[in-house]
Chain A
Amino acid sequence: MATATYTALATITLSGNSSSVTFSNIPTSYRDLRVIINGKGSIDENVTYTINGSTANFSWLRISGNGSTTVTDKNTNNTIGRFGTGDTLVIVDFMDYSATNKEKLFLIRNNYVGGDVRGLAAKWGSNSAISSISFGIRLSGNYLTGTTFSLYGIAG
């Protein structure tokens, strides 16, 4: 029997500039999560991820192009993707986020005006279920007023 899913769990629209946004108390009753971030930043910098209060055990891999140059690189830090001073869209799919027997893989589509388009694969190297996710901007950047953060739960 088909199960309606893609459930809106939380939406945050900034009424003022903010250095970070957190989704907490995320229920474990879904299979995947999708986060959609749409807005602008005060500086053109990397997005920082904090999961369950931890900035450790991250790794990521990127492909990107800006119209003249392509890049593929990787690292083991929590600064993943980019948020720009122009309109930016970030879509993050956390797969099997509630599993307690595997590390957490997530896919990121990252588009920002005046910058580039990116596809990233990332991992949080913990078997813990994800219960909170915080998004910041590196080097004390802020998400600007009006930026929206939407969290969806997807059954599976």
Chain B
Amino acid sequence: MTPVYKLSDSRSLTGTATYYSSMLAGNAVYAPQSYYLLETNVLPGAATSVEFTNLNTYASDYKHLQIRIAAGAGGSGATNRLRITVNSSDANLRGHKVGGVGSGSMFSSTATPYGGSMVISDRVDVSGTSVFIIDIVDFGSTNKAKVFKTFEGCLDSSEPFVAMGSTLWNSTSALTNILFGVGNTAIDSTGFTSGSRFSLYGLKA
């Protein structure tokens, strides 16, 4: 079979061109991307909760998840805790946190579920925005528990807050959904303000 030649420019085979036997020769190296925006939700109005569902459908393509949140809360004061459920339950959740409010001493705390959900942050700003970056490592694994790494901050003039946390979902089940809500002792009607943004990203291995 006569081979197909890819010429470096438009000239005849009898010219002084460079000959390649592969159509791929000379092409730029293909560098596949590894960080993908999967879903984003910018609230068109106030909402009691925000949920990412069917997360298990991403497990075949992505190794880790990241959730970026910039949100405000209704209500006021220190009762606006960010709370989560995983797979529609508060079961098997535990958390640890170190943080500070800009005065006094740093604090460290633990979190356990109550009221049907678990606190993942102590402060969602009522007069502006709180920001959160949550990394879920190996979210699709069905032979290990899942760990969420959080980094958060709020510059509410009355209740500023910065913290780093770790949340364990002690289950080998597939992660299917995560729900975020606001409340002191349970997710209540406080909710998130219009314009709050929740973005989900997938990271390939």
A residues apposed to B, CB below 8 Å: 2-6, 31-32, 59-63, 65, 70-74, 93, 95-96, 101-103, 105-107, 109, 119-123, 154-156
User: Counting CB contacts under 8 A, is B36 at the interface?
Assistant: yes
| Given A70-B106, A71-B106, A74-B160, A121:B36 Cβ within 8 A | no
| Given A96-B70, A105-B153, A119-B164, A72:B103 Cβ within 8 A | yes
Contacts of B40 in A (CB 8 A): 31, 156
Cα A57 to Cα B180 with chains together (Å): 31
Apart from the given pairs A6-B35, A73-B100, A74-B101, 15 other A-B contacts in the complex at a CB distance below 8 Å: A2-B38, A4-B33, A32-B68, A61-B162, A63-B162, A63-B164, A73-B103, A95-B131, A96-B197, A105-B128, A105-B129, A105-B131, A106-B131, A119-B163, A121-B152
Contacts of A71 in B (CB 8 A): 100, 106
Report the minimum CB–CB distance from A104 to chain B (whole Å): 9
User: Counting CB contacts under 8 A, is B151 at the interface?
Assistant: yes
**B106 contacts which of A31, A59, A63, A107 (Cβ < 8 Å)?**
A63
User: Counting CB contacts under 8 A, is B56 at the interface?
Assistant: no
User: Counting CB contacts under 8 A, is B133 at the interface?
Assistant: yes
Question: By the criterion of a CB under 8 Å from any partner CB, how many residues of chain B are at the interface?
Answer: 39
B128 A103 Cβ-Cβ under 8 A? yes
Contacts of B195 in A (CB 8 A): 101-102
Contacts of A63 in B (CB 8 A): 98-100, 106, 162-164
| Given A101-B195, A119-B162, A156-B68, A61:B155 Cβ within 8 A | yes
Contacts of B38 in A (CB 8 A): 2
A59 B155 Cβ-Cβ under 8 A? yes
Contact with A along B115-146 (1 / 0, CB 8 A): 00000000000001111010000000000000
A107 B133 Cβ-Cβ under 8 A? yes
- Top 6 A-B pairs ranked by shortest CB distance? A121-B153, A72-B100, A74-B102, A4-B33, A6-B35, A121-B162
Contacts of B37 in A (CB 8 A): 2-5, 154-156
Q: Is the interface of B mostly helix, strand, loop or mixed?
A: strand
Closest residue of A by beta carbon distance from B200: A156
Closest residue of A by beta carbon distance from B38: A2
User: Counting CB contacts under 8 A, is B199 at the interface?
Assistant: yes
| Given A105-B153, A121-B153, A121-B155, A74:B103 Cβ within 8 A | yes
B100 A3 Cβ-Cβ under 8 A? no
Sample (13) of A-B pairs whose CB atoms are under 8 Å apart: A4-B36, A5-B37, A59-B160, A62-B162, A63-B99, A70-B106, A71-B100, A72-B106, A95-B68, A105-B129, A105-B153, A123-B155, A154-B68
| Given A2-B38, A156-B37, A61:B161 Cβ within 8 A | yes
B155 A105 Cβ-Cβ under 8 A? yes
A107 B153 Cβ-Cβ under 8 A? yes
| Given A62-B102, A103-B129, A119:B199 Cβ within 8 A | no
Cα A70 to Cα B106 with chains together (Å): 7
Closest residue of B by beta carbon distance from A70: B106
Contacts of A120 in B (CB 8 A): 153, 162
Report the minimum CB–CB distance from B137 to chain A (whole Å): 17
Cα A71 to Cα B34 with chains together (Å): 37
